[in-house]
């Protein structure tokens, strides 16, 4: 009886491993088919968000940072970033850069940027709603700082459509 259960368990484990292998290979094929510029995928999603890498290069002050972009309609987007310190710091900052690219481009081009700093706090955010040119992919890149700790984050590219003739 116990030998029969071991065989069933082994068969179930093999089937699970095969399922995982097949699922993983289909994910790899999908990722290879998606268009990318640098590390950012070009998407038609409503929004994209990025975070700082888990390991901060130096120091103990910076906990994490976020960058975000959201399509608000034809030729409109919402972009910004947030920096979170692990405790109250003397100086915290976020620099937000909006970049854009056409499909088929090999790199992102600068579109607009701004920065914001504050003192004696543990978090900071800066956001803008922007009118932009349609028929481009836009992404946000942020540089996050807490005292001397610095890291960065970026989003995938979100396609912003042109206004239709009826909306002009």
Segment 144-149 shows an average pLDDT of: 95
- Whether the full predicted model's pTM is greater than 0.95, yes or no, is no
Look over the chain and give the mean of its residue pLDDT values, rounded to a whole number: 84
The residues, any chain, with a CB within 8 Å of residue 41's CB and separated by 6 or more, are 34, 35, 156, 157
Q: How many domains does the chain have?
A: 2
The residues, any chain, with a CB within 8 Å of residue 168's CB and separated by 6 or more, are none
The predicted structure's pLDDT at residue 45: 97
The predicted structure's pLDDT at residue 163: 87
Segment 109-131 shows an average pLDDT of: 98
Higher pLDDT, 150 or 17: 150
Q: Is the pLDDT of residue 22 over 70?
A: no
Does residue 72 share a domain with residue 14? Answer: no
Does residue 66 share a domain with residue 25? Answer: no
Does residue 75 share a domain with residue 22? Answer: no
Domain that holds residue 118: 40-167
């Amino acid at each position: 009886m116990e030998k029969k259960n071991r065989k069933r368990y082994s068969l179930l484990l093999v089937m699970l491993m095969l399922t995982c292998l097949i699922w993983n290979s289909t994910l790899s094929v999908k990722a290879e088919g998606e268009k990318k510029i640098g590390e950012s995928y070009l998407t038609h999603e409503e929004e994209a968000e990025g975070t700082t890498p888990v390991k901060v290069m130096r120091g103990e002050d910076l906990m994490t940072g976020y960058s975000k972009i959201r399509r608000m309609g034809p030729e409109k987007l919402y972009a910004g970033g947030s920096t979170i310190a692990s405790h109250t710091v003397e100086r915290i900052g976020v620099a937000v850069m909006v970049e854009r690219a056409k499909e088929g481009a090999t790199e992102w081009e600068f579109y607009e940027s701004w920065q914001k700093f504050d003192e004696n706090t543990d978090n900071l955010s800066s956001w803008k709603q922007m009118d932009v040119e349609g028929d481009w992919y836009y992404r946000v890149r942020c540089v996050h700082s807490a005292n001397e700790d610095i890291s960065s984050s970026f989003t995938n590219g979100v396609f912003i459509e042109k206004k239709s003739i009826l909306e002009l």
